[in-house]
Amino acid sequence: MSGLPASNVTDPVPATGAGPRHVAIIMDGNGRWAKRRFLPRVAGHKAGAEAVRRTVTAAADMGLGALTLYAFSSENWRRPAEEVSDLMGILRLYLRKEVAELHKNGIRLRTIGDIGALEGDLIDLIREGVERTKDNRRLDFVLALNYGAQDEMVRAVRDIAREVAAGRLDPSAIEPGAIEARLDTSDLPPLDLIIRTSGERRLSNFLLWQAAYAELLFVDTLWPDFDADTLAAAVADFGARDRRFGGR
């Protein structure tokens, strides 16, 4: 496991030795996992769904406040149509099978991103899952679907521009908090840790605003192999860091 030094978060108090409240994961490596086993890419995506199940359970057991998974980016539409269809089918199956288990375990399902671009039956499954679990408090499990951080920020800025144009907001009063309040994550804990699997070292348009003071950790583990031990090691790495938030 390898990490990058980071300087980060909106929380002004250093939390050396403390565990993260909000962890986000860029799930990468499904295709390479399948290729190494001479399997079709869809097999890697199916194995990745199993890793989601393991990781959500582990996050709840560890007492995290929120877990956000980058499930489908706004750029993923550029993939071959067959692969996009496979991904959406796996998401359907996951929601049909797992929402009851999430609810049983006190986990609240959330989404960020523009789900309105998804197919109607999938939108219905997502909304039903969100509604069914809305009163759960053990863990906020957030799926980033058709999500892109730049799009998220553009939507926030457009909303502010409309408020200014209507005379309801003075431009001189616009501060970072005005943008944060309009982001998809506005009612989630501040982001503490971003993990990216498979050895890649970039954020890929994921939670760019929220990552301002988040710790970054890049691991070589391919996503289908990610499990409770991998998550525990990442949390331990986080706890050993000295988070200064630019204060010293």
Q: Is 79 annotated as a binding residue?
A: yes
Contact 44, 31 (CB under 8 A): yes
d(CA 107, CA 99): 9
167 φ/ψ sector (left φ>0, alpha ψ -120 to 50, else beta) = left
Active site residue 28: yes
Q: Structure tokens of 16?
A: 């050396």
Report whether 28 belongs to an annotated binding site. Answer: yes
Tell whether residue 73 is among the known ligand binding residues. yes
Q: Annotation-wise, does 19 bind a ligand? A: no
Left, alpha or beta for 246 (phi > 0: left; psi -120 to 50: alpha)? left
Q: Does 54 carry a binding-site annotation? A: no
Name the packing angle between helices 41-62 and 81-104 (round to 10°).
Answer: 30
Q: Was 31 annotated as part of a binding site?
A: yes
* Ligand-binding site membership of 148 (annotated): no
Q: Which of 11, 61, 76, 114 is catalytic?
A: 76
101 is in an annotated binding site: no
Q: CB atoms < 10 A from the CB of 26, how many?
A: 23
Question: Is 74 marked within a binding site?
Answer: yes
Is residue 75 marked as binding? Answer: yes
Is 30 labelled a binding residue? yes
Query: Would you say 196 is a known binding-site residue?
Result: yes
Instruction: Give catalytic status of residue 205 as yes or no.
Output: no
Q: Which of 28, 140, 184, 192 is catalytic?
A: 28
Contacts with 201 (C-beta within 8 Å, 6 or more apart), sequence order: 4, 218
Residue ranges at the known binding site for substrate = 29-33, 41, 45, 73-75, 77, 79, 196, 202-204
Residue ranges at the known binding site for Mg(2+) = 28, 215
Residue ranges at the known binding site = 28-33, 41, 45, 73-75, 77, 79, 196, 202-204, 215
Which residues participate in catalysis according to the annotation? 28, 76
